[in-house]
């Protein structure tokens, strides 16, 4: 390819292959790639922080609607080699922005980089914004306004050592915002990370699921959506609906096709509980908002008071990390009790604990069979798998069991 900007134009929106990039929480790239394959995307390229894929326009709709793992879907509209800020300006100016959105719409430009030799990302943001606005003035004699809070159109740029890649954001609000949650929760677990944990755990809808420290109910809710085949984006709007190249009839057909595949109930029971009554109420409202309240058996209870609901199942726990919500001393006394509780009551189960506390395996007294690095936002965590079997698999810590 020549060292000049190229355009991936939107006219027609038939079966033409286009390039997209789907970012995701770090550590879930492999899970996202498998999900994209499951959604019918044959060609993917995994990288740190996301997965690129080549597909027709209709597949972009499908991924926005159905992906539980992606954070958003970016449409790659241009790529060019660069050396200076002026090269970046020219790359952005070369693209036919007025074919994709109107000057009456507001814009926001976001720039990220890895090993970029240029000194200021803020200045690059300004140059790209100027290029887009200057191109509109040349083509339409009007320029879009900038809105950094609630823009109609989001433009993303990524620079590596040699190349600037320009994207239009087709999602708008991040995809983990499913559209059903009303009340915010302190230190929440994002929905796409919760869904990714369920996939990493190998949970299937035919297995009993228990989240005994459910907080706002995110893990149980994502499990219910997965089990009922409810598209996570079915209740929200997307940025692609604001693009001039949007095919409303095609989008409507795809959305109705997805609705037709929903199941009436979950195959196996999903249990959720929390000792905090306010969290239980928040979770209940979230379940009601998503239309899955009948699928999840929710109650208020301390985790150590719970009895096993089945002989076998999968447990997923996202306890306080000692970073934001609990004191380290409290957790030091809690985790040994948690280990005893698992050992005594949950033989035959697989338990998964997401934590940023590296002391957990030692404190809990069980040997993890897996340690999977994940990021909850900027916080580095591990997802530990514990297979609870009779006897064995337990460290001798000089205390009775």
Q: ∠ CA(178), CA(183), CA(189), 5° rounding?
A: 60
Query: Would the pLDDT of 382 be above 80?
Result: yes
Query: Would the pLDDT of 333 be above 90?
Result: no
Task: Render pLDDT for 140-157 as a digit per residue (tens, 0 to 9).
Answer: 999 999 999 999 999 999
Q: ∠ CA(64), CA(70), CA(71), 5° rounding?
A: 95
As a whole number of angstroms, the distance between CA 360 and CA 321 comes to 10
Task: Render pLDDT for 341-354 as a digit per residue (tens, 0 to 9).
Answer: 999 999 999 999 99
As a whole number of angstroms, the distance between CA 303 and CA 283 comes to 16
The first and second tokens of residue 301, run together, are 């209870």
Average the pLDDT over 240-255 and give the result.
Answer: 97
CA distances from 262 to 218, 232, 310 (A): 20, 11, 26
Task: Render pLDDT for 157-204 as a digit per residue (tens, 0 to 9).
Answer: 999 999 999 999 999 999 999 988 776 666 579 999 999 999 999 999
pLDDT band, very low/low/confident/very high, at 330 (cuts 50, 70, 90): confident
What is the structure's pLDDT at 331?
A: 76
Average the pLDDT over 324-344 and give the result.
Answer: 81
Q: Which CATH superfamily is domain 191-232+263-387 in?
A: Vaccinia Virus protein VP39 (3.40.50.150)
Query: Would the pLDDT of 4 be above 90?
Result: no
| 77-91, 250-264, 315-329: least confidently modelled range | 315-329
Decide: 295 and 228 in contact? Cβ < 8 Å: yes
**Range list for CATH 3.30.2130.30 in the chain:** 18-169
Decide: 365 and 339 in contact? Cβ < 8 Å: yes
What is the structure's pLDDT at 14?
A: 58
> How many percent of the chain have pLDDT more than 90?
84
pLDDT band, very low/low/confident/very high, at 392 (cuts 50, 70, 90): very low
What is the structure's pLDDT at 320?
A: 72
As a whole number of angstroms, the distance between CA 124 and CA 61 comes to 30
The first and second tokens of residue 212, run together, are 């005994």
**Range list for CATH 3.40.50.150 in the chain:** 191-232+263-387
* CATH 3.30.56.10 is held by the domain 18-169: no
Task: Render pLDDT for 36-78 as a digit per residue (tens, 0 to 9).
Answer: 999 999 889 999 999 999 999 999 999 999 999 999 999 999 9
Cross-strand partners of 337: none
**Average pLDDT score, the chain:** 91
What is the structure's pLDDT at 187?
A: 59
Checking 155-158 for CB contacts under 8 A at 24+ apart, the result is 155/107, 155/108, 155/109, 155/110, 155/128, 156/74, 156/109, 156/110, 156/111, 156/112, 157/88, 157/92, 157/109, 157/110, 157/111, 157/112, 157/124, 157/125, 157/128, 158/111, 158/112, 158/113, 158/114
């Amino acid at each position: 390819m020549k060292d000049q900007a190229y355009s991936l134009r939107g006219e027609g929106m038939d079966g033409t292959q286009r390039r997209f990039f789907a970012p995701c929480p770090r550590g879930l790239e492999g899970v996202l790639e498998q999900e994209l394959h499951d959604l019918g995307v044959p060609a993917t390229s995994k990288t740190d922080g996301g997965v690129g894929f080549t597909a027709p326009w209709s597949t972009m709709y499908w991924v926005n609607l159905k992906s539980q793992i992606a954070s958003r879907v970016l449409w790659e509209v241009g790529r060019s080699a660069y050396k200076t800020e002026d090269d970046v300006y020219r790359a952005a100016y070369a693209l036919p922005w007025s074919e994709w959105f109107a000057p009456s719409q507001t814009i926001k430009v976001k720039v990220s980089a890895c090993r970029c030799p240029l000194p200021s990302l803020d200045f690059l943001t300004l140059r790209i914004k100027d290029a887009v606005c200057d191109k509109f003035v040349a083509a339409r004699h009007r320029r879009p306004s900038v809105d950094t809070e609630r823009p109609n159109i989001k433009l993303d740029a990524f620079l590596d050592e040699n190349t600037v890649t320009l994207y239009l954001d087709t999602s708008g609000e991040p995809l983990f915002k499913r559209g059903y949650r009303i009340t915010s929760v302190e230190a929440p677990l994002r929905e796409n990370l919760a869904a990714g944990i369920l996939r990493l755990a190998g949970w299937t809808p035919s297995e009993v699921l228990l989240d005994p420290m459910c907080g706002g109910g995110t893990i149980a809710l994502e499990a219910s959506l997965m089990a009922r085949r409810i598209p996570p984006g079915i209740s929200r709007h997307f940025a692609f609906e604001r693009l001039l190249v949007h095919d409303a009839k095609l989008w409507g057909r795809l959305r109705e096709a997805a609705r037709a595949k929903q199941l009436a109930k979950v195959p196996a029971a999903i249990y959720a509980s929390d000792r905090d009554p306010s969290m239980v109420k928040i979770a209940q409202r979230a379940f009601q908002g998503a239309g899955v309240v009948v699928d999840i058996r929710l109650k208020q209870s301390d985790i150590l008071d719970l009895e096993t609901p089945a002989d076998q199942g999968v447990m997923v726990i996202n306890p306080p990390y000692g970073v934001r919500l609990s004191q380290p001393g409290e957790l030091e006394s809690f985790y040994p009790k948690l280990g005893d509780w698992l050992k005594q009551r949950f033989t035959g189960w697989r338990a998964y604990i997401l934590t940023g506390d590296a002391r957990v395996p030692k404190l809990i007294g069980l040997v993890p069979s897996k340690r999977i690095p994940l990021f909850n936002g900027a916080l580095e965590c591990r997802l530990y798998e514990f297979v609870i079997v009779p006897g064995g698999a337990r460290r001798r810590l000089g205390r009775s069991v």
